[in-house]
Structure 1
Amino acid sequence: MFDSFFCILIPNLLLICIFTFNHYSVRLSFSMMGIIPRATSSATAVESDGSFQDTDTVPTPKVIIDQDSDPDATVVEITFGDRLGALLDTMNALKNLGLNVSKANVYLDSSGKHNKFAITKASTGRKVEDPELLEAIRLTIINNLLEYHPESSSQLAMGATFGVEPPKEKVDVDIATHIRVDDDGPDRSLLYVETADRPGLLVDLVKIITDINITVESGEFDTEGLLAKAKFHVSYKGKAIIRPLQQVLANSLRYFLRRPTTEEGSF
């Protein structure tokens, strides 16, 4: 055995131990970087700046496209717990679609950090009205989120197709469809749709509505994990939709969005 020993700790760097054995000294150095314990978790998040963050649960990704709150711009809000970074890659990807993107604000609440952007078309400086471009915005954001946060693949309907890391189990999007039409004054009505999300859904909803000569004025489209929620201001020839036409609209949407477990009643 050694006759004596003592150790010198250099914080965050090295642990140096000196042992005396038969009048000889032996110095052993250990890197502290290799023995600092790390917290373990069931999921690892990748921030948009390339950093990693450990967490126990994967929050529900949310993307909101808001056409109502700003008359001059399309407002996009992204929430994913506290995992989102600066989202610079997302903003650049949106700019590649021919859009002007400005960071509006970031705020915190119990559901996490909310990142808001104001988006306008670069060619006109006005808000985005084209449903296909609005859907492209939504899918671009979701694809970018999946790229930097592969652990969310099983929580997004697009995860099985577009996710960098395919979900371990089949994504269950067997969600019942709910439809409701309310009056919103004499000149327009409010249409609410809640259904399973999928690529192209926003474009398809607008097409179904306009195919029966109903005008879509504005609205909001929310992606909450596997669930899609739409709220549209609609009218028929400049007036609110009468009851018989409301039923036609609801039936058309319900038929298109039907699933084996679709509930026929409104919510």
Structure 2
Amino acid sequence: MPIVLIDQDSDSEATVVQLSFGDRLGALIDTMRALKDLGLDVAKGTVATEGPVKQTKFFITRLDNGRKVEDPDLLERIRLTIINNLLKYHPESSERLAMGEAFGVKAPENKLDVDIATRIRVKEDGPKRSLLSIETADRPGLLVEIIKIIADINIDVESAEIDTEGLVAKDKFHVSYRGAALNSSLSQVLVNCLRYYLRRPETDIDSY
């Protein structure tokens, strides 16, 4: 299964992007060039093997300030750039990625039912922040819209982990409100707003 993971937590200086699927040299070189075209510097890259799967990691910073990427629009462009390169060099991944319908040579035969695929959960992660977990059917622009919804209700996003696994987006956000964890009422407001955006009022919700 193709996996693209954007990790904002594990490295304090850089945004870590991990790709698990292909290992063709052309794909790696082209991906690095495409990221630089976005105004990014690939500080370093690593390749590891877990069984039959190659895992490639890029450590990315902004060229203009040398810092990790915080802008959600740019994070989404990074994600789509990497997926586009994956589809280019591994066209066989097209029918295993939600983006294959928009950008690939062959759309997925089995599409996810959003009602079944979507899970939203908020739980405490210490006194000063909460952990928001969202699992739903992937599609272009999803990350930007989620960040916008969170910001619209004045909740702060402290960090994020953006995980695309085949047809599914599995995103985690550390969030807070005025420097504290979300209370139960605000957690429910957040869940309801996200549920409304996902257009599935009957979505299975777990909120703590």
Larger-Rg structure: 1
Q: Distance in 2 between matches of 1:180 and 1:65?
A: 20
Residue 50 (structure 1) aligns with: none
Residue 179 (structure 1) aligns with: 120
Q: Distance in 2 between matches of 1:84 and 1:102?
A: 19
Residue 85 (structure 1) aligns with: 24
Aligned counterparts, 1:212-231, within 5 A: 212-231=153-172
Three-state SS of the structure 2 residue aligned to 1:101 is: strand
The answer as to 2:71 corresponding to 1:130 is yes
Q: Distance in 2 between matches of 1:213 and 1:173?
A: 31
The answer as to 2:150 corresponding to 1:193 is no
Aligned counterparts, 1:238-249, within 5 A: 238-249=179-190
Three-state SS of the structure 2 residue aligned to 1:252 is: helix
Residue 264 (structure 1) aligns with: 204
Q: Deviations over 1:91-132 (max 9, x none)?
A: 111110010013332111146111001000001000000000
Structure with the greater relative contact order (CA < 8 A, sep ≥ 6): 1 or 2?
2
Q: CA offset at residue 263 of structure 1?
A: 3.1
Q: CA offset at residue 170 of structure 1?
A: 4.5
Aligned 8 A contact 1:173 1:197 in 2: no
Q: Using a 3 Å threshold, how does the CA distance of structure 1 residues 147 and 124 change in structure 2: closer, same or farther?
A: same
Q: Which has the higher helix share?
A: 2
Residue 154 (structure 1) aligns with: 95
Q: CA offset at residue 257 of structure 1?
A: 1.2
Aligned 8 A contact 2:195 2:203 in 1: no
Give the percent of matched residue pairs that are identical in Structure 1 and Structure 2. 61
Aligned 8 A contact 2:6 2:162 in 1: yes
Q: Distance in 2 between matches of 1:62 and 1:198?
A: 14
Q: Using a 3 Å threshold, how does the CA distance of structure 1 residues 189 and 158 change in structure 2: closer, same or farther?
A: same
2:23 partner letter: L
Count of matched residue pairs? 203
Q: CA offset at residue 237 of structure 1?
A: 0.6
Q: Distance in 2 between matches of 1:202 and 1:183?
A: 22
Aligned 8 A contact 1:160 1:171 in 2: no
Q: Distance in 2 between matches of 1:219 and 1:104?
A: 20
Aligned 8 A contact 2:122 2:206 in 1: no
Q: Distance in 2 between matches of 1:111 and 1:237?
A: 46
Q: Deviations over 1:28-82 (max 9, x none)?
A: xxxxxxxxxxxxxxxxxxxxxxxxxxxxxxxx110000000111110000001xx
Residue 13 (structure 2) aligns with: 72
2:149 partner letter: I
Residue segments in structure 2 that go unaligned for 5+ positions in a row? none
